[in-house]
Amino acid sequence: MRGSPLIWVLLVALSSPAQTRLSVEQLVSFVESSIKLKHPDRQVAVYLQKLKLSERLDDRQIEELQGNGAGPKTLEALRALRDASRELPKPPPKVIQAPPPPIPPPSADEQRRVIEETREYALNYSKSLPDFICTQVTRRYYDPSGLEFWQRGDTLTTRLSYFERKENYKLVLVNNQYTDLPYESLGGVISAGEFGSMMREIFEPTSHGSFRWERWATLGGRRAHVLAYRIQQVYSKYRLNYERRMEVVVGYSGSIFVDQENGGVLRVTLEAQDIPPTFPVHQVTTVLDYRPTAIGEREFLLPLKAAVRSRMDKFLSKNEVEFRLYRKFAADATITFTPDALPEEQTKEQPVTPPPAPPPSPPR
């Protein structure tokens, strides 16, 4: 997952204020996001003091932000921006598009059928996969401020083999330099288990998961059921490990996006729950996307991209993991480069739109 476009625009503005100015819409979105994420009032105000606007900010917008919870120092900085922008043009009128009419949910019987068929799919997913290898590219980011101003860390390129239903990771490149370090020896956040184990454990009978149909969604142009789930800590196998010195088992919850047409799983999300307050890591989330991928002459739903985020006090870390260059298993396969990052559009959720109306029947 990339940092939001808004935060990126803000960072560019701070680094080159003479070249880049924020629109009022971008400014308001930044302040609203800061309120939602509980960023410190003083810290937000300091950033606002470095900004310049391309449009006029008025009292109405400041009052709305005050009503939403903007702090006193933030409001003081906003009033200074208002005064500095009095001679600028007004923002263009905002065009509000009417949302599409909602699609009714499936019947209760259909919801139960989707959940049970997804359970069967998840429990048998690993068995359906061939032996293969692929390139796993992990781009790691961090943010000591806690404000989601991401700094690039390192890039790990790994040869991932899937043979006889077991995953094996061989670290090949660190920042495009060859290495013999074992994958498990790396510091920071690393991930594994994307090829079925996470999905399977959610649906295993011993996990005693609770499931419900939540909503419709669209991913990759495919209409999908979104199922919400919850695994209690007492039944969980999900472990958080801190520097290989401390480990806890926690509960978790999330969503599963299921292709309406063929029942394949397109996305799994996971958020750790019940983390002990004494454990150094306070928050962990994962988003894993699957897409149709050819191996040999057949096509399989395989991991495309994962985003793993964690928080320790204010310190944030983020891994963007991509799975590329799938091919049939060969023991001597090599990796010689790091592919460019996947476009964000490939995993972005699209608006849900109702199906087109059927054509009118011909007159009799």
**How high is the pLDDT of residue 112?**
97
CA distance 155 to 320: 10
Asked if 33 and 24 touch (Cβ cutoff 8 Å), the reply is: no
Q: Is it the case that residue 71 has pLDDT exceeding 90? A: yes
Q: Is 39 helix (H, G, I), strand (E, B) or coil?
A: coil
Q: What is the pLDDT of residues 35-44, one digit of tens each?
A: 988 888 998 9
**How high is the pLDDT of residue 364?**
54
Residues 6+ away with beta carbon under 8 Å from 208:
231, 232, 235
The helix or strand, by DSSP H or E, that contains position 59, with its residue range, turns out to be helix 59-68
DSSP state string for 125-184: TGGGPPPEEEEEEEEEEEETTSS---EEEEEEEEEEEEETTEEEEEEEEETTEE----GG
**How high is the pLDDT of residue 188?**
67
User: Tokens standing for 324?
Assistant: 């590329």
**How high is the pLDDT of residue 226?**
97
| Closest residue by Cα to residue 284 from 183, 189, 175, 166 | 189
**How high is the pLDDT of residue 336?**
59
**How high is the pLDDT of residue 329?**
82
**How high is the pLDDT of residue 360?**
56
How far lies 105's CA from each of 7, 73, 128, 226, 316, in Å? 35, 45, 30, 11, 37
Which letter does DSSP use for residue 46 in this model?
Answer: H
CA distance 94 to 61: 13
**How high is the pLDDT of residue 31?**
92
Per-residue confidence band for 6, with pLDDT thresholds at 50, 70 and 90: very low
User: Tokens standing for 292?
Assistant: 């149709």
| Closest residue by Cα to residue 73 from 95, 44, 94, 111 | 44
**How high is the pLDDT of residue 338?**
61
Per-residue confidence band for 149, with pLDDT thresholds at 50, 70 and 90: confident
Provide the whole-model pTM.
0.71
**How high is the pLDDT of residue 5?**
38
CA distance 44 to 81: 13
Domains and CATH numbers, the chain: 5-84 (no CATH), 108-342 (2.50.20)
Mean pLDDT of the region 119-125? 95
Mean pLDDT of the chain: 85
Q: Is it the case that residue 4 has pLDDT exceeding 50? A: no
Residues 6+ away with beta carbon under 8 Å from 13:
20, 21, 22, 50, 51, 52
Mean pLDDT of the region 209-219? 96
Asked if 137 and 35 touch (Cβ cutoff 8 Å), the reply is: no
The region, left, alpha or beta by phi > 0 then psi within -120 to 50, assigned to residue 85 is: alpha
Which letter does DSSP use for residue 53 in this model?
Answer: B
**How high is the pLDDT of residue 189?**
66
Mean pLDDT of the region 172-180? 88
* Start-to-end Cα distance in the chain: 55
User: Tokens standing for 258?
Assistant: 């299921």
| Closest residue by Cα to residue 354 from 99, 111, 114, 95 | 99
Q: Which residue has the higher pLDDT, 6 or 41?
A: 41
Per-residue confidence band for 230, with pLDDT thresholds at 50, 70 and 90: very high
Residues 6+ away with beta carbon under 8 Å from 181:
171, 174
Q: Which residue has the higher pLDDT, 261 or 8?
A: 261
Least confident of 74-78, 159-163, 318-322, 346-350: 346-350
Cα atoms in the 13 Å half-sphere on the side-chain side of 76: 9
Buried b (16+ CB within 10 A) or exposed e, 173-191: beeeeeeeeebeebeebbb
CA distance 192 to 283: 18
Per-residue confidence band for 87, with pLDDT thresholds at 50, 70 and 90: very high
The helix or strand, by DSSP H or E, that contains position 253, with its residue range, turns out to be strand 251-259
Q: Is it the case that residue 258 has pLDDT exceeding 90? A: yes
Q: What is the pLDDT of residues 96-114, one digit of tens each?
A: 777 778 889 999 999 999 9
Residue identified by tokens 């057949």 is: 298
